[in-house]
């Protein structure tokens, strides 16, 4: 018995030497230290950092300086730099221009749609631009309809995006000229809606939003009795916009929705614009193609996005990867006249240094955190969240983060169904990629003390276990 007790004390000593506790030990720190011996964490790598939001003092850390994959906690970094360099009132533009003259209801020349990174452009905005052209008296266009996406480079994916992600809604291509299907602003994607018919054995009814012929649906579904399980497989063939949908759709269900990234979003904008011109009674005589806007052009209309402070709500609440990657390229374009990931990531590192972040401890490969190569220590993440509290844009930044337990996409976001018991007291960014789960942000304790925390769980075998562990850690801290 004495041997077992000695062995246990040795193991506990080895474990505790990895934990640094600052100030006087309190019950929550002891409880958290004990909790980290959870069997579900066996074989994983854990990084935790807890700071005082008032003083910045580290109150607790476990592997706080170990570099770990942040997943979508990377958006906390990208977002802070974007706010600092672009400003909370920054807007993106989409321009409609021509290189000819309008006479007798005829535009003698080409029509250009020039994108400047706007992820908020909607089909309704495209129709409004076409209507503006009509209001200027145009009924015929002798030239071509040309889409210009040269504001950014032509690299569509961040360097580490895996092939299995490229058809998913969160893996959309980044283009300077793109369109969203809803005010969630999932640019470069379409939403597939699958509804059962009233007769068994028939294929399901499939609709696409936005209403476009740019994607081709191959429907191999079948309506089955409600007792049968639905097994739907939705795939887009690589390099095409052919989407195949196979499987069973139970009768009398509410249907199913799926967001799919398209191949070459610039071309989808042009397809929707051509359709909008036709709807306005404007006849395009030339072709539809991609090109560069010449210097000598006339502006017909400009669509401006919502300001960055408003865009940050769907960006952070819904963890939109496309917004993050667009912000990286926009930082590169505005700061270095180079709309590339390389230039944008340089700006991020430069700005982080002004936030007193040790950039030598970081590996940053994208803006969204989808890369498995990104590495960030938990202590650096909490240091960032502490430092930016004095920035004039911090209120907008904080407002954009998900709020625990609030049942609303645009308030609770990815935390709306989590952290029962501390609803409204935790404002934090979630993160999930395969084998990684993270959570970082701000919390109010039961003693009304405001803390900053970062929890990075890597090498998990079950991401759901990771979320449950994060929730329990936050509850221990808050109590």
Helix, strand, coil content of the chain in percent (nearest 5): 35, 25, 40
- Biggest alpha carbon distance in the chain? 101
- Among 367, 329, 409, 345, which Cα is nearest to 75's? 367
> Is 75 annotated in the active site?
yes
Known catalytic residue at 319: yes
Between CA 166 and CA 173 the distance in angstroms is: 8
CA-wise closest residue to 309 among 397, 248, 235, 403: 397
Looking at residue 27, its pLDDT comes to 87
Active site residue 329: no
> What is the pTM (predicted TM-score) of this model?
0.92
Given a contact cutoff of 8 angstroms between Cβ atoms, the answer to whether 327 and 92 are in contact is no
Classify residue 359 as exposed, middle or buried by CB count within 10 Å of its CB (0-12, 13-18, 19+). middle
Residue carrying the six token digits 């009814």: 205
Secondary structure (3-state) at 164: helix
Predicted confidence at residue 26, as pLDDT, reads 61
pLDDT at 226 (0 to 100): 79
- Residue 1: the pLDDT is 43
- pLDDT tens digit at each of 479 positions of the chain: 444 443 333 433 333 334 444 444 468 999 999 999 988 899 999 999 999 999 999 999 999 999 999 999 999 999 999 999 999 999 999 999 999 999 999 999 999 999 999 999 999 999 999 999 999 999 999 999 999 999 999 999 999 999 889 999 999 999 999 999 999 999 999 999 999 988 898 999 999 999 999 999 999 999 998 777 777 899 999 999 999 999 999 988 888 899 999 999 999 999 999 999 999 999 999 999 999 999 999 999 999 999 999 999 999 999 999 999 999 999 999 999 999 999 999 999 999 999 999 999 999 999 999 999 999 999 999 999 999 999 999 999 999 999 999 999 999 999 999 999 999 999 999 999 999 999 999 999 988 899 999 999 999 998 888 999 999 999 999 98
Among the options 29, 44, 49, 72, which is catalytic? 72
Taken as a whole, the chain contains a residue count of 479
Q: What does residue 284 show for φ and ψ, rounded to 5 degrees?
A: -95, 115
Cα–Cα distance between 177 and 152 in angstroms, integer?
9
**N-to-C CA span, the chain:** 35
pLDDT at site 6: 39
Domains of the chain: residue spans and CATH: 16-89+309-478 (3.40.710.10), 93-155+264-306 (3.50.80.20), 194-255 (no CATH)
- Exactly one of 29, 66, 75, 467 is catalytic; name it: 75
Give the DSSP H or E segment for 311.
helix 308-317
* Bridging pattern class, strands 58-62 and 19-21: antiparallel
Of the candidates 175, 305, 309, 319, the residue annotated as catalytic is 319
d(CA 356, CA 303): 37
Phi first, then psi, for residue 224 (nearest 5°) are: -125, 165
């Amino acid at each position: 018995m004495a041997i077992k007790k000695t062995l246990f004390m040795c193991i506990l000593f080895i474990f505790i030497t990895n934990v640094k506790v600052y100030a006087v030990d309190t019950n929550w720190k002891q409880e958290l230290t004990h909790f980290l011996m959870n069997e579900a964490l066996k074989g994983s790598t854990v990084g935790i950092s807890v700071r005082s939001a008032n003083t910045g003092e580290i109150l607790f850390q476990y592997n706080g300086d170990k570099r770990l994959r942040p997943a979508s906690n990377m958006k906390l970094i990208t977002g802070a730099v974007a706010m600092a360099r672009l400003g909370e009132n920054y807007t993106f533009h989409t321009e409609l221009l021509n290189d000819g003259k309008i006479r007798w209801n005829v535009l003698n020349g080409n029509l250009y749609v020039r994108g400047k990174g706007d992820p908020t452009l909607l089909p309704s905005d495209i129709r409004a631009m076409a209507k503006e052209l009509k209001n200027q008296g145009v009924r015929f266009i002798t030239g071509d309809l040309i889409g210009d996406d040269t504001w950014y480079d032509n690299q569509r994916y961040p360097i580490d995006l895996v092939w299995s992600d490229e058809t998913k809604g969160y893996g959309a291509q980044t283009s300077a000229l793109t369109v969203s299907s809803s005010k969630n602003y999932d640019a470069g994607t379409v939403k597939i809606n699958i509804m059962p018919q009233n007769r068994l054995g028939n294929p399901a009814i499939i609709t696409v939003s936005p209403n476009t012929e740019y994607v081709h649906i191959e429907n191999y579904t079948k309506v089955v009795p409600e007792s049968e399980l639905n097994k739907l497989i939705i795939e887009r063939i690589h390099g095409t916009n052919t989407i195949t949908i196979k499987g069973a759709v139970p009768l009398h269900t509410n249907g199913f929705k799926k967001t799919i990234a398209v191949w070459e979003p610039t071309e989808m904008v042009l397809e929707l614009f051509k359709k909008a011109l036709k709807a306005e009674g404007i006849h395009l005589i030339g072709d539809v193609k991609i090109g560069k806007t010449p210097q000598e052009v006339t502006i017909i209309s400009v669509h401006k996005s919502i300001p960055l402070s408003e865009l940050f709500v769907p960006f952070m609440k819904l963890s939109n990867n496309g917004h993050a990657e667009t912000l990286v390229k926009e930082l590169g374009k505005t700061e270095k006249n180079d709309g590339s990931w390389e230039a944008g990531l340089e700006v991020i590192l430069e700005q982080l240094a002004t936030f007193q972040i040790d950039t030598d401890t970081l590996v940053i490969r994208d803006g969204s955190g989808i890369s498995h190569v990104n590495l960030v220590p938990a202590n650096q993440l909490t240091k960032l969240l502490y430092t930016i509290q004095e920035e004039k844009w911090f209120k907008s930044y904080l407002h954009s983060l998900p709020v625990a337990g609030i049942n609303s996409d645009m308030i609770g976001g990815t935390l709306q169904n989590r952290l029962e018991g501390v609803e409204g007291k935790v404002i934090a960014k979630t993160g999930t990629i395969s084998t990684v789960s993270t959570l970082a942000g701000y919390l109010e304790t039961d003693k009304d003390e405001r803390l900053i925390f970062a929890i990075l769980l890597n090498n998990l075998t079950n991401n759901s276990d990771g979320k449950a562990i994060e929730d329990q850690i936050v509850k221990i801290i808050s109590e």
